[in-house]
Amino acid sequence: MDILNELYQKGVSRRNFMLGASALGATSALAGCSGGGTIDATVTGISDTDILNFALNLEYLEAEFFLNAATGSGLASTDITGTGTQGAVTGGGTAVPGLTSQQQDFINEMAYTEQQHVRFLRSALGSAAIAIPAINIGSSFGVLAAAAGLSSTFSPYTSYDAFLVGAFIFEDVGVTAYTGSAPLISPAGIASGLLSYAAGLQAVEAYHAGSIRTQITAGAIAAAQAGTSSSFPYLSYANAVSTLRGTLGGGNETPLTVPVQNSGGTFTASSIVQASPTTAIGYGRSFDQILHIVYGTGGGAGVSSGGFFPSGVNGAYTVTQS
């Protein structure tokens, strides 16, 4: 517990934020990859390019959220053009206030890596890259919070702890999306290195998610040690969001728990890792389940927009199928 508390209080030193850094290299073999791949039982003929573009929608969303939290502004105009309808970003516009230098460094690194994911995928897709769709990173948080049973006025831009809850919403979804899409990559895509690159992208999303989940849990531990648990509602906020996310996206959620001291002086185990309790393997979600989460709608076919994507996502797979 002391280690978790120290992580929360001191943070981790991060690299300087470099908004102007060049895009990561991408092999030309990735551009234009095509092949079979079934998103779910009702959809066929999805190519590797379609898979990459679906991921790019999510990376646009994450990059806009983290860049706004870090700097108050989003992606550069050169990073958002492409095929399909280019949309505007609403919400954001204000960096998270009152940060320590370590907290600012952490948000900076998150923003930098998500920006680079956008640039990497755009480079891999070349002229096939989709444009950024319309994205709501403002009022959509309040709608989601209200649906989870929290205050409709919740905003991730008010404090570092609130930011962590906002980040918690996205990062676990990104991990499950990459896990779910990996088996869909065609043999040609695997041969070209696409599976390796997808695994690398997923790894960074998982590092993000693990750090966020640890910091939220550590905050709850620190508050309990200080006798101020009532002033730290963020773990319960995250778990309320997790419950809603499971309802919208087919289950596959691991609630955060903190260790509790029993009468014998030992502690129950904490639960931070998002994985199956029996196999310890991370969860995957279908594209259909991901759309239900980001559109903020439960089961049902034919939903094409909502939530964080008020006009829908761009690409080949945009409408819920079940």
Give the model confidence (pLDDT) of 127-148 as tens digits: 999 999 999 999 999 999 999 9
Other Cβ atoms within 10 Å of 258 Cβ, number = 22
CA atoms within 13 A on the CB side of 219: 23
pTM of the model: 0.86
Distance, in Å, from the CA atom of 190 to the CA atom of 196, rounded to the nearest integer, reads 8
Annotated domain spans of the chain: 31-295
pLDDT at 93: 93
245 vs 38: which has the higher pLDDT:
245
Please tell me whether residue 81 adopts helix, strand or coil conformation.
coil
Give percent of the chain above pLDDT 70.
Answer: 85
Distance, in Å, from the CA atom of 208 to the CA atom of 114, rounded to the nearest integer, reads 10
Distance, in Å, from the CA atom of 1 to the CA atom of 272, rounded to the nearest integer, reads 13
Residue 10 has pLDDT above 70, yes or no: no
Residue 174 has pLDDT above 70, yes or no: yes
Give the model confidence (pLDDT) of 101-111 as tens digits: 999 999 999 99
In angstroms, the first-to-last Cα distance of the chain is 43
Residue 312 has pLDDT above 90, yes or no: yes
Distance, in Å, from the CA atom of 23 to the CA atom of 119, rounded to the nearest integer, reads 5
Task: Determine which of 17-26, 70-79, 210-219, 276-285 has the lowest per-residue pLDDT on average.
Answer: 17-26
